[in-house]
Amino acid sequence: MELTIKNISGKDTSKKVTLSKEIYAVEPSDHAIYLDVKQHLANRRQGTAKSKERGEISGSTRKLRKQKGSGMARYGSIKSPLLRGGGTMFGPRPRDYGFKLNKKTKQLARKSALTYKAKEGCIQVLEDFNFDSPKTAEFKAILDNLKVSNKKSLLILSETNKNIYLSSRNLDKSSVLTYSELSTYEIMNADNIVLSASSVAKIDEYLS
């Protein structure tokens, strides 16, 4: 797939770039995308939910009634899970929700996500640019010129750029990542993908 590189004014330049078929035109795997997104969201969970069990409740351990003869359920103290205010049975405990996912599966998921975006025509290539200082208004103007400001957009850079990142931070629908931070979740969550010209080769190398 061949795309024309655009400038920050949103106009086509004389330069073109070819997107690799091995990354942007693979046979997509929906299951790989599902697993990678599931792992991403699982890793974001704090896993700190905790309820008090019988041994952690403060209260008397006096036996409230005799063991037999009452016709009611037996329990030994006011901390019994059978009573209101008692301990919780099988409640949540702090845990790690993350799970292992093979590297090749994650690569396939990202290639599949990029393939879907390429088929939908949601990928643009932008010439490299920089700001001397954070300038949100100028960054938004670039998104307006590319006609992606009203939808969720993801700008992928070849290296960390603090000024560009800070310029985009106040825009709810805009995200800026480097090629090494690329995830299936971020790709699928974005309506439009904007690749910096220098990031195309880096993504090819990263996902090959």
Q: Tens digit of pLDDT for each residue in 12-71?
A: 899 999 999 999 999 999 999 999 999 999 999 999 999 999 999 998 889 988 989 989
* pLDDT tens string 155-175: 999 999 999 999 999 999 999
Question: What is the side-by-side order of every strand in the sheet holding 2-6?
Answer: 12-18, 2-6, 123-126, 192-196, 153-157, 174-178
Does 75 score more than 90 pLDDT?
A: no
Q: Which domain holds residue 160?
A: 2-46+100-207
56, 81 contact by CB (below 8 A)? no
- Say whether both 69 and 138 belong to one domain: no
Last residue of a domain, one of 29, 60, 91: 91
Whether residues 13 and 112 share a domain: the answer is yes
Sequence-distant (≥ 6) Cβ neighbours of residue 91 within 8 angstroms: 50, 51, 52, 53
**Nearby residues of 102 by Cβ (< 8 Å), 6 or more positions away:** none
Domain check: are 85 and 119 in the same one?
A: no
* Residues 83 and 42 both lie in one domain: no
Domain total in the chain: 2
Judgement on whether residues 174 and 189 belong to the same structural domain of the protein = yes
| Same domain as 202, residue 121 | yes
Supply the pLDDT for residue 37: 97
CATH number assigned to the domain comprising residue 28: 3.40.1370.10
Q: What is the mean pLDDT of the chain?
A: 93
Q: Within this chain, do residues 39 and 57 fall inside the same structural domain, yes or no?
A: no
- pTM exceeds cut of 0.85: no
Same domain, 9 and 27: yes
Same domain for 150 and 188, yes or no, is yes
Contact criterion met (CB below 8 Å) for 122 and 191: yes
Residues 56 and 122 reside in one and the same domain: no
Q: Pairing mode, if any, of strands 123-126 and 192-196?
A: parallel
**196: which strand partners?**
126
Which amino acid appears at position 27 of this protein?
A: E
Burial level of 47, CB count in 10 A (0-12/13-18/19+)?
A: middle
Radius of gyration of the chain (CA): 27
